[in-house]
Structure 1
Amino acid sequence: MTVSTTDADGRPANPNAALTFYWPQLGRQILIRGAAAPAGAAAGAADFLARPAGSRAEALIGRQSEILDDPADSTSPSNRLRRESPPTPA
């Protein structure tokens, strides 16, 4: 999560967060609101390691929030890496 409103020490000035997403099976938009707090390094590492390998790779090599000069650059970095890398011996 990126927090753009911080105090002088770099902590979030407003501890509240909101998440909105569309849930197609219900045909509804869902809004979740509440206070947010850091979970700590161990919880963050456990959450990261619980994700699929492709998701972890994308997080490590992706260019999230960067401006794309060419729409072709929007291709997933992990897909691009798979295409450009030699096959791994079995």
Structure 2
Amino acid sequence: MSPPVETFSAAELPTRVLGDVNGKRRKGIEGLKLEECEMLEILQYSCVIQGYEKGEVTRESIVQCTPIARLFRRCQDRKGSFLVETTAWEGEKTEK
């Protein structure tokens, strides 16, 4: 089981990124603007086997996959680079 993770809104991301995973303030990122960090994207797939819910899976069952784009920003602090997932934050910026 994965450890519990604190949740927060996408709007809080620019200030939350100033701290590391242990809650300590990152050093060397004074004045960091998240939108200026390099943007990266990966494409993942969510797949469903048709008939699985009804227990009707056979060798001929159709597997339907939907692509899911996930966005990240690569930023720098004194220790080196770190990645921040910004998928929800990027979507929130375009809605305004």
Whether TM exceeds 0.5 here: the answer is no
Structure holding more strand per residue? 2
Q: Which range, TM-score by smaller chain?
A: under 0.3
